[in-house]
Structure 1
Amino acid sequence: MNLDITADSKVDCSHLSIQEDIDDEFTIGDPHTGEFLRVPKVAVDVIEMLDGQISIGEVKEAVSKKYNEDVDVIDFVMTILDCKMVYSINGKVLHTSINREPLLILRRLGSFFFSNVLVCLYAVAFLAVLFLFIVNPASFPKFQDLFIYETVGISTLNIVVVAWILTLVHEVGHLLAASKENISTRIRLNLRMIWLVAETDMTGLWARPKNNRYVPFLAGMMWDVVIIFACLIIQQVTNHPLIIGYSKLIVFLVLFAFLFQFIIFLRTDIYFVVSNWKNTSALHQNSLMFLSKIILKKNLPEWDHLPEYEKKNAVWFGFLYGIGGIIAISLFLYFQVPPVLYGVSLVYKSITVYGIDSYYFWDSAIVLFVFILQGIAWLFGLKTSLRQRKERRSTVEA
């Protein structure tokens, strides 16, 4: 395909979204590809005129006259072309394979589950969970709640299956809430330090107004609190040991996942809420620069070129890293270390006490099988993480 851009070319960028930020800066981008740029007002004027009907030369003439300076429209078009933000050139559509809208059924489900009424009910469920934990501290999960069955192998396999089902439910919440905003998403595995996580890519949300992004970012946590609330109620209304056992297991797993979102330096749901609130898409990177400058005494020219409001955001967010670190250590010590040590002790007992012809011996072998499966999933997450780092380095070098 010939992509030569001249003054006579007619370029269509009318599909791009434009969101005003602060300090006369704007975010432009394609919500369906997840490509976004932060640009000044003059670039917005160019985008608004690139409708596929008038030539680049005519756009240049109009914008240069408005700003009383020479505006290099061709260079700007080449930039957004490299970012795959151009819809068509001279009537020829580019990137026809891009899926530009989520399925209708997903949009309808998103509109139902994240209507204003249900969002308010999710908030009520959150307050109800806090109330139930306060009035009945015994309902707070303990690591023993993970082991429903007598044997460690079956219990471990059960934990993994239930945990991934709950993770899928959390991510589907994000997917449906984003679909309500007509944003296509995809669920993938990734790494957050040592933790394997599933995540929903909702980059396209930056094409929506600021207030419209909060519900999709919080959607998974909204469903988490409803699940916890339902399980706490179930524990009060039934005496069936298996049902109670599963409800306690689910509360343990979901509460861990909910609190995990507050480890904001791992770019969790709460991180994106804060990033949206402060009108910055580079809060994590800027905060790392601040910490490197303060703690490691590094001389970073990039820091000096940041706008003042970005520096202020990075400073206070950098201090929040300490809070996130405390939460991470607490979760690790309470939710992960005790069950792992307990499980290892049970495996050791089964292997040393029972022979190879015993059911309990082979039950312990299931634990090894589960670890192998988790290791394979971890490698998929590592692959995604490495690819993202490579893309970020390429962007910086460009």
Structure 2
Amino acid sequence: MTASATESTGFDLDRPVALHPLTYLVEGDEVTVGCQATDSYGVLPADGAALVRRLAAGLSPNEAARWYADTYGEQVDVVEFLDALTELEFIDGASGSASAAPPLRWQRLARVMFGPIGWLAYASLIVAAIAVMITTPAVRPSYHNIFFSPYVTVVGLVLLLGQIPGLLIHEGFHALAGRRLGLRSSLGVGRRLYFVVFETNLDGLVSVPRRQRYLPILAGILADLVVLAALTVLAAATLRADGTVSAAGGVALALGFTTLLRVVWQFYFYLQTDLYFLVVTVLGCGDLQSTAKKILRNKVWRLLRRPDRVTDESTLPPRDRAVARWYAWLLPAGYAFSIGTLLLVMVPTAWQVFSRIFGRFGGGESWDTLADSLVFLALNIAQLLVLAALAIRDRRRRRAAARLTHVLT
């Protein structure tokens, strides 16, 4: 080994390299190699994964390179290979030996929640909610349940603040279902078209067999159904003697209806909801959304007779490319539906609401009514500002990624 090789890699190529404990998931001709200690994962060809296994078993880089040449009849640039492993954070640079992943919190709770006791509790609650919906019409989901108070500020604040625990429970179920499998997770805030959403990052799902991915993917919808059931049973339990809904029951029914809307929203799979990831997993795709967008853009450029703008589709994953042939046409249809709903339903509804709100400032209204209107306006403006801030953040990230791609090419 030359001195230049040592300086360029930072490793002695004749000594074993310390790797973090790694997982290997074989899927066809590819192997997903994962490191739970750094929450990093990469998809490698079978021969590349075999080389990683040799390094992890204690062979030095030079010994592993000779084994690779003897086994596959080809030479490997072991220096470049080590650089790639470093970028993937598979190499333990903190010590001379491999270090184990730090303990995973909440794993025992996750096993209880998705064990026999948890499933029995969820099933009992959902069955009880269905029973009270059948026998008590007053607690059935309805858009009328939203207007539980004559004050729009009260309605707005309750729906805004009351949905936050529901959203956290939704994402918490995703995270706990993943932690049950030993996967790490993180929570963030994102945007889907004109929707502000919470997001659970479960990159480690790619490292587990496909059949084990379904529960973490669907756990959020399960959480919504459980929350809806609990709110319905609470509303039924707090009914007045005359059968009318109490104040607490009214709040519960309002939050229950918005929870039901959250379940319906999952069917907007073109916005990459939970059901989108379910479809991708069932069909065995990787990044179907990006592949479909690239194919759709190519179709548009061909229609506009701009072959110079058409990109090479042969580099796209074969399975994604096959599914995207028909999925690509669902994207414009889905976005058209969302934008149409915004223009034909949400905008006119908002216009009527805000017209009434601004009409209150014409005079003759009591101070509490005016205060109600001002707070309502402030809440809605704040939500629009949050959406705008997320849109600006996403645009900056896209520009940064584009600059990075330009530098690397």
**Structure 1-normalised TM-score?**
0.84
Task: Name the structure 1 match of 2:10.
Answer: 4
1:253 offset after TM fit, Å? 1.0
* Unpaired segments ≥5 residues, structure 1: none
1:286 offset after TM fit, Å? 0.5
Is 1:73 the equivalent of 2:83? no
In structure 2, which of residues 281, 287, 294 is the aligned counterpart of residue 289 of structure 1?
A: 294
> Given the superposition, is the C-alpha separation of residues 215 and 242 from structure 1 closer, same or farther in structure 2, using an over 3 Å criterion?
same
Q: Judge conservation of contact 2:166–2:227 (CA < 8 Å) in 1.
A: no
1:37 offset after TM fit, Å? 2.2
> Given the superposition, is the C-alpha separation of residues 229 and 395 from structure 1 closer, same or farther in structure 2, using an over 3 Å criterion?
farther
Give 2:183's aligned amino acid.
Answer: I
In structure 1, which of residues 11, 16, 19 is the aligned counterpart of residue 22 of structure 2?
A: 16
* Unpaired segments ≥5 residues, structure 2: 1-6
In 1, distance between residues paired with 2:387 and 2:63?
Answer: 53
Give 1:191's aligned amino acid.
Answer: R
Counterparts of 1:101-112 in structure 2, within 5 Å, are 101-103=103-105, 106-112=106-112
In structure 2, which of residues 362, 379, 386 is the aligned counterpart of residue 377 of structure 1?
A: 386
Counterparts of 1:1-398 in structure 2, within 5 Å, are 4-22=10-28, 24-51=29-56, 53-88=58-93, 91=96, 100-103=102-105, 106-115=106-115, 118-119=118-119, 141-237=141-237, 238-239=239-240, 240-297=245-302, 299-321=309-331, 324-325=334-335, 328=338, 332=342, 336=346, 340-341=350-351, 343-354=353-364, 358-378=367-387, 381-382=390-391, 385-386=394-395, 389=398, 393=402, 398=408
SS at structure 2 position matched to 1:340: helix
Q: Give the percent of matched residue pairs that are identical in Structure 1 and Structure 2.
A: 22
In 1, distance between residues paired with 2:397 and 2:78?
Answer: 30
Q: Judge conservation of contact 1:183–1:204 (CA < 8 Å) in 2.
A: yes
1:29 offset after TM fit, Å? 2.7
Give 2:380's aligned amino acid.
Answer: F
1:247 offset after TM fit, Å? 2.5
Give 2:326's aligned amino acid.
Answer: W
**1:46-66 Cα distance to aligned partner (Å, 9 max, x none):** 111122732100111112111
Give 1:306's aligned amino acid.
Answer: L
Q: Judge conservation of contact 1:50–1:59 (CA < 8 Å) in 2.
A: yes
SS at structure 1 position matched to 2:267: coil
Q: Which has the higher contact order (CA 8 A, sep 6+)?
A: 1
**Structure 2-normalised TM-score?**
0.82
How many pairs were matched up? Answer: 390
Q: Judge conservation of contact 2:125–2:230 (CA < 8 Å) in 1.
A: no
Kindly name which structure, 1 or 2, has the bigger radius of gyration based on alpha carbons. 2
Deviates more, 1:176-185 or 1:300-309: 300-309
